[in-house]
Structure 1
Amino acid sequence: MIIDTLDNANFYKTLSANIETAINYLKSTDLQSLELGKHEIDGNKVFALLLNYETQNEFKDKWEAHRKYLDIHYIIEGNERIAVANILDMNPITEYEKNEDFQLFKGKGAKLYLRKNDFIILGPNDVHQPGICFDDAVSEVRKIVIKAMI
């Protein structure tokens, strides 16, 4: 897991070609005017999901992890907490869905704060629960989640 601001994102471009593509997209795209939904960046290797939502209280059994893609969550507007835990400390509650690259878990983890211009890179061992209220106050969040193939 990596958490930082977009201003420092160039430091992480050397991690992989797909992460570099994702960072270049974040830095070169007008994210405010982008339409909600899925956006292709580099075929099935790198794509984005633009989301608008209100943060909520914690979701007890909504921890998720992925095996095929890294998640890069970038906050365009608003703020949220994201809970993160090591996969070894969690209990799976569903089987891995290969076609959706998705598995649900149950457990507890650390809560991190994400503000406007923050991003987090989540790997296959980083089980996460995004969209949690920041200081117990509901926030409108505009966020892009980039999926970068491992």
Structure 2
Amino acid sequence: MVFGNIRDLKDYGYLEEEVLKCFEYAKTHDLLNFEKGSHEIEGDNLFVNIVEYKTTTPEERFWEAHRQYLDLHLMLRGPEQIDVNFIDNMEQKEFVEKDDFLPLEGETNSHVVLTEGDFLLCYPKDAHRTAVQVKEPVMIKKAIFKIKIK
């Protein structure tokens, strides 16, 4: 996992080239005004999902991880808590290949709170539970870049 803010991108030059492309795309496109849904950047190798939803309690949410894509969560309008752990600490359920979805069960190891400009980069070993409210439920808008693992 990598947690940071786009204002500090100069400190993240070591990240994978495809991840840096996402940040460049975010700088040159008004993601806040994108419609909800999936937006192609480089076919199925790199695309961005724009989501809007109301945050809720952890009990109402689920754990997940991915094998085929890295997730880069970039907060456009928040706040949102994302609970995190490592998949090796969790009970792994059956992987759903067509959705690149590994359901998990377990406890929170830690969490991050994303506000505008914050990002969380999740690798295949990083379990995450999104849409957790910070103080109370709020509507958030976020870009989730999907970066195919080669």
Give 1:31 shift. 1.1
Contact 1:61 1:106 survives alignment (8 Å): no
* C-alpha distance in 2 between matches for 1:101 and 1:60: 21
Mark the CA change 1:108 to 1:34 in structure 2 (over 3 Å): closer, same or farther: same
Structure 1: unaligned runs, 5 residues or longer: none
CA–CA separation in structure 2 for the residues paired with 1:105 and 1:27: 33
1:114 deviation in Å? 1.0
Q: Is the 8 A contact 1:32 1:76 kept in 2?
A: yes
SS of the aligned residue for 1:50 comes to: strand
Paired residues of 2:61 and 2:129 also in contact (CA < 8 A): no
Runs of 4+ in 1 over 3 A off after TM superposition: none
Q: 1:147 to 1:59 in 2, by over 3 A?
A: farther
Equivalent position of 1:138 in the other structure: 137
Report the counterpart of residue 149 of structure 1 in structure 2.
148
Count of matched residue pairs: 148
Return the letter of the residue paired with 2:87.
I
- Secondary structure at 2:58's aligned position in 1? coil
Task: Supply the distance in 1 between the matched residues of 2:91 and 2:5 (Cα, whole angstroms).
Answer: 31
The answer to whether the Cα contact below 8 Å between 1:13 and 1:23 also exists between their aligned partners in 2 is: no
The CA RMSD over aligned residues, in Å, is 1.4
User: Which residue is 2:125 aligned to?
Assistant: 125
How much does 1:97 deviate?
Answer: 1.4
Which 5+ residue runs of structure 2 have no aligned equivalent?
none
Contact residue 61 and residue 131 of structure 2 kept, 8 A: no
Separation in 2, partners of 1:10, 1:65: 28
Report the TM-score, using the length of structure 2 for normalisation. 0.92
Q: Which amino acid aligns with 2:103?
A: L
Distance 1:74 1:51 in 2: 11
